[in-house]
Amino acid sequence: MFKLKATLAAAAALCLFSSGSVFAEEKVEVLHWWTSGGEAAALNVLKKDLESQGVTWNDMPVAGGSGVQAMTVLRARVTAGNAPTAVQMLGFDILDWSGEGVLADLNKVAEEENWDAVIPDAIKRFAKPEGVWIAAPVNVHSTNWVWANKAIFDELNLKQPATWDELITSLDKIKAAGYIAMAHGGQAWQDGTVFDSVVLATGGPEFYQKAMNELDEAALGSDTMKTVFDRMAQLRGYVDDNFSGRDWNLATAMVINKEAGVQFMGDWAKGEFLSASKKPGEDFLCFRFPDSQGAVLFNSDQFVMFAVGEEQRPAQEKLAMSVMSPAFQQAFNKVKGSVMARTDVDASVLDACGQQGQVDLAEANKSNKLFGSMAHGHGAPSGIKSAVFDVVTAHFNGEYDSAAAVEELAAAVQAAK
C-alpha cells in the first residue's frame, strides 16, 4: 500500500496550499439552491446580518431542479461526515433527515427565544418533530396564487376571475387579444404547482386534504380527480408552444414584460416582480386561484441545522437566531415574496399582496383550511411527490388522457408508498 499512501500524502500536502482554513473565526457554511434574482437578494439580507455579527458566510450554492442537485450533494456530504452548517430544506425532506440522527438540537436557543409561542403548528410539525427543534423556519410560502399583468387586464377590461368559469373566460379573451394567456414552464414541479391549485379549486379543501395529504385511494381515483385532469388539459391549451423546460422565473418575466396574461405560481413569483421594480396593484395583480379562496396551500423554507463540531456551535446558533429574528423575517420576506413564519411580527412592512397573504394564512389556519402543498414537499414524502409529478407531467404533455391519468395516479402513489 506504500504507493497509495504516498499518493495520499502528496495530495494532502497539496491541499494545504489550496485551502488554508482558519479556525479562530466564526463561520457558517450554507447549502442552498436560491440562485434566481429575488432569491439571491433575499439571502443576501441574511448574509449581511450575520456578517455584521462577525460570522463569515461560506456560500455553497448548488443550483438546478428546485433543489434536486442540492439534496444529492447533501447526502454525499452527510455520508462523508462533513455536513454543512445549515441547509435550505422543505417539509417532508426535513422529517426524513430528522430520522437519521444527524441534525443539531436547537432547543436551548428555541427556549430562550420562545419559538414555541410564535410559530404556527402546521410549521412546527416540520421544524420541531418529536419535541426537538431542528430547523429555523424562514417564511411561509403560499402556492395557490395567480399573478397577472395589470396592463393586459385593463386593456381587455377584465376583472379578477373568482371562479373557474370566469378564469377560462378571461384566459380566452387574453388569448384572443394575441397575448400568451398563461405563462408556464414545462418542468415537473411547475406542472405540479398548477395541479395543486386545480385540485384544491375543483374538489374543495376537504378533497385536497384527502387526496394530497392523506393519499386516500378513493379520492385519488375519483371522478373529481378526472375533472381535475380534464381541467389541466384545458389549461394546456393556453400555454405557448415553447413552454417546455422553461424556468419559472422566465415565465414570470413573461408576465412582467406584458407578453403573457397570468402565471399560476407560488408567491416567490412576487420577488421577481419586485426585483424588476414593479408595484402590486399598479403593474401587476395578485389574487387567489379561482375557487380556492379561503384555503391556503403552504410550504415553508427552513434552514435545517446539522450536527457540527462544538467550535462551530456558537456560529450555528447565531445563524438560527438571525433567521428567527423579527427584523430579519421582515426584511427577508419583503424581498422574497413570502410571509413571515412568526405570527407576532408586524406585517405592515409588506406590500398589499404580502399583507393579504398574511391575513389569508391566519384565517386558513383558524378555519383548518391550511394544507401542506404536495408540489412543494409538504403534502407527502419525496418518493410519492415524484410519483405524482410523473403522472401529472406525462398527462400535461399529452402522453395519456384524463381517465388513464386517474388510474396511473392511484397506481403510482400506491407503488411509491
Residues 387 to 416 in contact with another protein, rule: CB under 8 A: 387, 390, 393-394, 396-399, 408, 415-416
For the CB of residue 97, give the shortest distance to another protein in the complex, in Å: 7
What does the DSSP assignment read for 334-350?
HHHS-EES-SSS-GGGS
12 forms part of the interface with another protein (CB under 8 A): yes
What does the DSSP assignment read for 387-412?
HHHHHHHHHHTTSS-HHHHHHHHHHH
Sheet with 145-149: strands ordered across: 180-182, 260-264, 145-149, 284-288
x/- letters, 186..205, toward another protein (CB under 8 A): xxx-----------------
Positions 61 through 100 that interact with another protein (CB under 8 A):
61-65, 68-69, 71-73, 75-82, 96-97, 99-100
From the list 142, 202, 209, 252, which residue makes contact with another protein (rule: CB under 8 A)?
A: 252
In the bound state with another protein, the residue whose beta carbon lies nearer, of 169 and 414, is 414
Q: Count residues contacting another protein (CB under 8 A)?
A: 82
129 forms part of the interface with another protein (CB under 8 A): no
Q: Which residue has the cell 396511473?
A: 408
22 forms part of the interface with another protein (CB under 8 A): no
Show the CA angle centred on residue 321, arms to residues 319 and 327, nearest 5°. 105
For the CB of residue 278, give the shortest distance to another protein in the complex, in Å: 10
Q: Rounded to an integer, what distance in angstroms lies between the CA atom of residue 156 and that of residue 135?
A: 47
Positions 253 through 292 that interact with another protein (CB under 8 A):
253, 256, 272, 275-276
Residue 70 to residues 61, 63, 84, 287, Cα–Cα distance (Å):
8, 7, 11, 32
Positions 300 through 329 that interact with another protein (CB under 8 A):
none
For the CB of residue 34, give the shortest distance to another protein in the complex, in Å: 8
Show the CA angle centred on residue 144, arms to residues 202 and 192, nearest 5°. 75
Q: Rounded to an integer, what distance in angstroms lies between the CA atom of residue 256 and that of residue 251?
A: 9
Q: Which residue has the cell 455584521?
A: 52
For the CB of residue 287, give the shortest distance to another protein in the complex, in Å: 21
In the bound state with another protein, the residue whose beta carbon lies nearer, of 2 and 23, is 2
For the CB of residue 154, give the shortest distance to another protein in the complex, in Å: 22
In the bound state with another protein, the residue whose beta carbon lies nearer, of 110 and 134, is 134
In the bound state with another protein, the residue whose beta carbon lies nearer, of 140 and 256, is 256
β pairing state of 370-372 and 296-299: parallel
Positions 161 through 180 that interact with another protein (CB under 8 A):
none
Q: Which stretch binds another protein (CB under 8 A): 57-65, 201-209, 224-232, 325-333?
A: 57-65
User: Which residues fall within 8 angstroms of residue 226, CB to CB, at 6 or more apart?
Assistant: 402, 403, 405, 406
Burial of 77 (0-12, 13-18, 19+ CB in 10 A): middle
Q: Which stretch binds another protein (CB under 8 A): 31-39, 121-129, 194-202, 215-223?
A: 31-39
What does the DSSP assignment read for 53-122?
TTEEEEEEE--SGGGHHHHHHHHHHHHTT---SEEEEEHHHHHHHHTTT-B---HHHHHHHTHHHHS-HH
Q: Rounded to an integer, what distance in angstroms lies between the CA atom of residue 336 and that of residue 338?
A: 6
x/- letters, 98..117, toward another protein (CB under 8 A): -xx-----------------
Positions 208 through 247 that interact with another protein (CB under 8 A):
241-245, 247
For the CB of residue 279, give the shortest distance to another protein in the complex, in Å: 16
53 forms part of the interface with another protein (CB under 8 A): no
Cα atoms in the 13 Å half-sphere on the side-chain side of 312: 20
For the CB of residue 417, give the shortest distance to another protein in the complex, in Å: 11
